Amino acid sequence: MKRKLILCLPGNEFDGQIMIQRIQFINWLFANDWDVVLSQKGGSNVSFVRELCLGIKEEDAMTPSQQIPFYGKFDYDYILWTDSDISFTIQDFEKLVKDDKDIVAGAYKKNNKYFTSGHKTDENLNFIAHMEEDLKGEDPFEVLCFGFGFVLIKKGVFEKIPRPWFLTSTYDYKGQTKIVGEDVYFCLKAQDSGFKTWLDPKVRLAHVKKSSLQ
């Protein structure tokens, strides 16, 4: 039986080599018994763009109501998010599928020191990005939140989280009001809806506009 994937590509501009990777990836999916729905949207408001990538109409994008991706028009097994400045391999995708988590992300660097794809908290509940020494394990581990550069989400997650799914806003975290970006907002809201957010330390991605893997 074919598996069904919605491929979300938020962003206005794509590096030429990354665009070639995306085409090769889609060709591989079709050749390996995957059905694919491609959803690409761009704009200056990243929260708005991510909602649009899930098929939400513009007039509904900021309406805090319970809805499902594409209003249920497309059946799917997974949603894969990959930003326009992230380089990944087919093996990276296969590893996230094999992890068999509801929500799992790959690791990529914000700069040469910190990873934007995983966060923890200190004793004062400040959010702290992971460093290289935090990603030495072999297996996925739970993280507080991550950037949405390369994230695989199973069907059933968005359906159980009340909208908006993405928002740059404040969020109450353990009694403290935090100002968060849309990706952190999603992670915290997913956890409040009963899901865990995982990071796979073996899936290492190149963040083209920020930092290479070296």
Question: Does residue 143 form part of some domain?
Answer: yes
How far apart (Å, rounded) are the C-alpha atoms in residues 183 and 50? 10
Greater confidence (213 vs 9) lies with 9
Q: 101 or 137, which is more confident?
A: 101
| CA–CA distances in Å: residue 63 to residues 58, 59, 60, 163, 212 | 10, 8, 5, 7, 38
- Whether the CB-CB separation of 107 and 205 falls below 8 Å is answered with yes
Nearest alpha-carbon partner for 182 in 48, 78, 57, 70: 48
Instruction: Give residue 81's pLDDT band: very low, low, confident or very high (50, 70, 90).
Output: very high
Q: Would 214 be classed as within a structural domain?
A: no
Give yes or no for a contact between 163 and 66, defined as CB atoms under 8 angstroms apart.
yes
When divided into structural domains, the chain yields a total of: 1
Confidence of residue 111 (pLDDT cuts 50, 70, 90): low
Residue 115: band (very low, low, confident or very high) from pLDDT cuts 50, 70, 90: low
The mean-pLDDT minimum among 6-15, 57-66, 151-160, 161-170 falls in 57-66
Q: What is the pLDDT of residue 61?
A: 75
Per-residue pLDDT of 89-99, as tens digits, reads 999 999 999 99
> Looking at the domain assignment, is residue 212 inside a domain?
no
Question: 114 pLDDT exceeds 90?
Answer: no
Q: Does residue 213 form part of some domain?
A: no
What's the CATH number where 128 sits?
3.90.550.40
pLDDT beyond 70 at 213: no
pLDDT confidence of residue 206: 85
Q: What is the mean pLDDT of residues 125-138?
A: 80
Q: What is the pLDDT of residue 214?
A: 36
Give me the pLDDT at residue 44, please: 87
**Residue 118: inside a domain, yes or no?**
yes
Domain that holds residue 9: 3-207
Task: Give the per-residue pLDDT at 212.
Answer: 40
Provide the angle, in degrees to the nearest 10, between the axes of the packed helices 90-99 and 16-31.
Answer: 50
What whole-number distance in Å separates Cα of residue 24 and Cα of residue 18? 10
Say how far apart CA 26 and CA 7 lie, in whole Å: 9
In a domain, 186, yes or no: yes
How do residues 21-75 score in pLDDT, each as one tens digit? 999 999 999 999 999 999 999 988 999 999 999 999 888 877 777 789 999 999 9
Give the pLDDT of residue 211. Answer: 42
pLDDT, residue 153, reads: 98
In a domain, 37, yes or no: yes
Residue 158 lies in a domain: yes
